[in-house]
């Protein structure tokens, strides 16, 4: 993608320009499911970032060894191994977080962000660039989750990190922490991101559709906006 650009670009692009959640629309399932509270959203973000950095580096290390035909199963195995490690660490050191994330923790394996970055970036770039790309994408993911979690917890439960907010906590808008609120907040955030992007830069979507694992399924998605540059 960018051999000549400085490495720092790999880190920063994931945070704003190519934010995996709001601009590339990857990893929507955990985004909606665990953002009922700020702390579980942050926990999910950090866990996914850890997996992303590790899997990106290892896949980049092995990119010349893995035969092209079996690359997807090989990537999934590597990712699943790191997810298992993270899962065991969280179970041991943060049991409450483990309970809050529940089944969504092992589901990081099928998070499209991780496989997507492996396929799009780590399989073509060096180790340092891939690790930074993973870190940047992870931070972008965490930031989006944090934002969604904050909005939903403040409006839906009247609290932030479990601390009550005066006035709001007396009659919270419960629907925001229920499933419909998740869809609604996500839609609104995406609309805001669209607006900001169209104002700032028309050429924001630098996605490489051909190598995106979801390309076949999102062909029916929004042709002119989401996936075509």
Partner 1 sequence: MSLTQLIGIFLAAILTENYVLCKFFGICPFLGVSKKLDTALGMSAAVTFVMVLATAVTWPIYTFILVPKELDYLQTLVFILVIAGLVQLVEIVLKKYMSKLYNALGIYLPLITTNCAVLGVTMLVLDKGAENPSFGYIASLVNALGAGVGFLVAMVMFAGVRERLEGCDIPESLKGLPITLVSASLVACSFLGFNGIVDRLIG
Tell the smallest beta-carbon distance from residue 193 to partner 1 (Å): 9
- Distance (Å) of CA 220 to CA 84, 108, 212, 214: 34, 25, 14, 11
* Sign of the dihedral defined by the CA atoms of residues 38, 30, 26, 140, in that order: positive
N- to C-terminal Cα distance for the chain? 15
Tell the smallest beta-carbon distance from residue 115 to partner 1 (Å): 6
Tell the smallest beta-carbon distance from residue 11 to partner 1 (Å): 26
Burial class (CB in 10 A: 0-12, 13-18, 19+), 228: exposed
CB 117 within 8 A of CB 208: no
Tell the smallest beta-carbon distance from residue 2 to partner 1 (Å): 27
For 53, the token pair is 């950095």
Whole-angstrom distance, CA of residue 223 vs CA of residue 197: 17
When the beta carbons of 33 and 38 are compared against partner 1, the nearer one is: 33
Tell the smallest beta-carbon distance from residue 91 to partner 1 (Å): 9
When the beta carbons of 106 and 126 are compared against partner 1, the nearer one is: 106
When the beta carbons of 61 and 218 are compared against partner 1, the nearer one is: 218
The conformational region for residue 173 under phi > 0 = left, psi -120 to 50 = alpha, else beta, is beta
The contact set with partner 1 (CB under 8 A) reads: 25, 28-30, 32-33, 73, 76-77, 80-81, 83-84, 87-88, 102-103, 106-107, 109-112, 115, 175, 178-184, 186-188, 190-192, 194-195, 198, 213-214, 216-222, 224-226
**Dihedral in degrees, nearest 10, Cα atoms 190, 207, 18, 218:** 30
When the beta carbons of 90 and 129 are compared against partner 1, the nearer one is: 90
Tell the smallest beta-carbon distance from residue 64 to partner 1 (Å): 23
When the beta carbons of 208 and 226 are compared against partner 1, the nearer one is: 226
When the beta carbons of 111 and 129 are compared against partner 1, the nearer one is: 111
């Amino acid at each position: 993608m960018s051999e000549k650009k400085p490495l720092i670009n790999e880190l920063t692009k994931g945070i704003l320009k190519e934010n995996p959640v709001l601009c590339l629309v990857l990893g929507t399932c955990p985004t909606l499911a665990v953002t009922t509270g700020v702390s579980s959203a942050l926990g999910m973000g950090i866990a996914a970032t850890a997996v992303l950095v590790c899997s990106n580096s290892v896949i980049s290390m092995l990119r010349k060894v893995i035969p092209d035909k079996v690359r997807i199963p090989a990537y999934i195995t590597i990712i699943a191994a790191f997810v298992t490690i993270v899962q065991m660490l969280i179970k041991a050191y943060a049991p409450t977080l483990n309970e809050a994330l529940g089944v969504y923790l092992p589901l990081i394996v099928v998070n499209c962000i991780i496989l997507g970055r492996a396929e799009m970036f780590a399989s073509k770039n060096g180790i340092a660039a891939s690790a930074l790309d993973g870190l940047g994408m992870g931070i972008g993911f965490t930031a989006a989750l944090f934002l969604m979690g904050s909005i939903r917890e403040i409006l839906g439960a009247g609290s932030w990190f479990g601390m009550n907010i005066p006035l709001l906590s007396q009659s919270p808008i419960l629907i925001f922490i229920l499933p419909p609120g998740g869809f609604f907040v996500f839609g609104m955030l995406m609309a805001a991101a669209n607006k900001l992007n169209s104002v700032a830069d028309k050429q924001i979507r630098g996605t490489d559709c051909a190598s995106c694992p979801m390309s076949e399924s999102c062909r029916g998605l929004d042709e002119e906006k989401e996936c075509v540059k």
